Amino acid sequence: MVYLRSEEHVQRWLDTNGWEPGATITAVQTNELARTWSWSRLDPGWHPRTIEESQAILGGLDLTGEFWSLR
């Protein structure tokens, strides 16, 4: 998962490396996702999330569809 400056840079980066496109999201979406995903990592009572809980986080940020399916 990498930062890119524009859609043009995304395409050039994919072409240069010969990779099929995955998913492009904005840095704002990534920040919301990362913040929610990592928020409880240091909680003393942390326990592993279930797949359903993780999927709900993705879904709550409109990251849905086959690409974002954890199963």
Partner 1 sequence: MDVFDLDVRRHVYFSIVASGRAPNAEEAADALGCDRPAVEASFRRLHDAHALVLFPSSTEIWMANPFCFAPTPHSVEAGGRTWTGACAWDALGIPGALHGDGRVRSECACCGEPVTLEVQDGALVEGAELLVHILVPAREWWSDIGFT
**Which listed residue (18, 47, 52, 53) binds partner 1 by CB under 8 A?**
47
CA nearest neighbour of 55 among 71, 38, 41: 71
Cβ(27)–Cβ(6) under 8 Å? no
Question: Least separation, in Å, of the C-beta of 30 and partner 1?
Answer: 4
Structure tokens at 48: 């592993």
Give the span between the Cα atoms of 9 and 5, in whole angstroms: 6
Q: Footprint of partner 1 on residues 9-38 (CB under 8 A)?
A: 9-10, 12-14, 16, 19-31, 33-38
Instruction: Using CB under 8 A, list all residues that contact partner 1.
Output: 1-7, 9-10, 12-14, 16, 19-31, 33-39, 41-42, 44, 46-48, 58, 66-71
